Amino acid sequence: MNIEHIDLNEIKKMKVEMTRFMMAYKFALDEMNTKINILKDEFNYIHDYNPIEHVKSRLKSPESIFKKVVKKECSFSFNSIKETIRDIAGIRISVSFISDIYELSKMLENQKDIRVIERKDYIKNPKPNGYQSLHLILEIPIFMSDREESVYVEVQIRTIAMDFWASLEHKIYYKYNKEVPNRLVQELKEAAITATALDKKMERLNKEITAYKETTAVIENEEMLLKINKDQFHLPMNLIKSYIQNNK
């Protein structure tokens, strides 16, 4: 290509557009992270319990976006990239228990400014390799100096055990350049079943502990009420005794 034919102004314009395009996704991630932090704090203050173990957010690199554009055969316009590649902004949340996944997703899905575009439940319907996670494509508005934009954010919610499995599977997948030997595929599937059994057992144990704590709290409350009643009953007696003592 002859260098004189390259229009520098066109390149500058493209660079500005690309920066604006990516910036919107960064703001969407900031917005979502704030929402998640508020839920985390509220849980801590009100329920004295925090289901969120880790939150990891990432912006897809321009190289990965480019690769996906080629793979999905979408055109190179910003509009078509936005509509086709909906995981440019991604958040992965690890929680303690399976029930936390659904509780947290409900809290996000019910927020007024969030629109649920897609929901894939790989927990109720795991992938054939054993992958489990709840995937949401959410659309949120972001407000800039001169405009408002709606941006897609992919949110993946899973338990720590599911996350542990997925990160190892991801490493193996790339180590074998996507051609994983059958024996490993089988072992990974077995590991996924073990992870599910662990998740279910932990959830059951947690329910038992919570029920025990609630019963103890009720007993403590009852004992406190009994003591208050007893004190109230004894109060006049004490007053009477001191009255008698003082008026001897």
Enumerate the active-site residues: 154
Q: Based on CB atoms, which residue is closest to ligand 0O2, 96 or 132?
A: 132
Instruction: Compute the least distance from the CB of residue 40 to ligand 0O2, in Å.
Output: 22
Among 15, 170, 200, 204, binds ligand 0O2 (CB under 6 A): 170
Q: Closest separation between CB of residue 112 and ligand 0O2, Å? A: 25
How far from chain centre, in Å, is Cα 94? 6
SS3 92: strand
Nearer to ligand 0O2, 35 or 158 (CB): 158
Chosen residue from 43, 97, 131, 152 binding ligand 0O2 by CB under 6 A:
131
For residues 59-88, which are near ligand 0O2 according to CB under 6 A?
87
| 129 scored as a contact of ligand 0O2 (CB under 6 A) | yes
Name every residue whose Cβ is closer than 8 Å to that of residue 29 and which is 6 or more positions away in sequence: 57, 59, 89, 91, 153
φ, ψ at 32 (rounded to 5°): -65, -40
Q: How far is the CB of 81 from ligand 0O2 (least distance, A)?
A: 12
Rule CB under 6 A: choose which of 20, 127, 207, 213 binds ligand 0O2. Answer: 127
Taking CB under 6 A as the rule, does residue 135 contact ligand 0O2? yes
Q: Strands (DSSP E) along 105-245, which ranges?
A: 115-121, 134-143, 148-159
How far lies 110's CA from each of 103, 120, 121, 165, in Å? 11, 17, 17, 29
Task: Please tell me whether residue 81 adopts helix, strand or coil conformation.
Answer: helix
Residues 6+ away with beta carbon under 8 Å from 163: 54, 92, 94
Give min distance, CB of 50 to ligand 0O2, in A: 24
From candidates 29, 98, 166, 188, binder to ligand 0O2 by CB under 6 A: 166
Residue type, 35: K
Q: Residue type for 172, please?
A: I
Q: Looking at beta carbons only, is 43 or 151 nearer to ligand 0O2?
A: 151
> How does DSSP assign 153-193, residue by residue?
EEEEEEEHHHHHHHHHHHHHHHHTTT---HHHHHHHHHHHH
Span near ligand 0O2 by CB under 6 A; candidates 21-29, 47-55, 164-172, 186-194:
164-172
Please choose, out of 11-19, 45-53, 100-108, 127-135, the segment that lies near ligand 0O2 by the rule CB under 6 A.
127-135
The footprint of ligand 0O2 (CB under 6 A) covers: 87, 90, 120, 127, 129, 131, 135, 166, 169-170
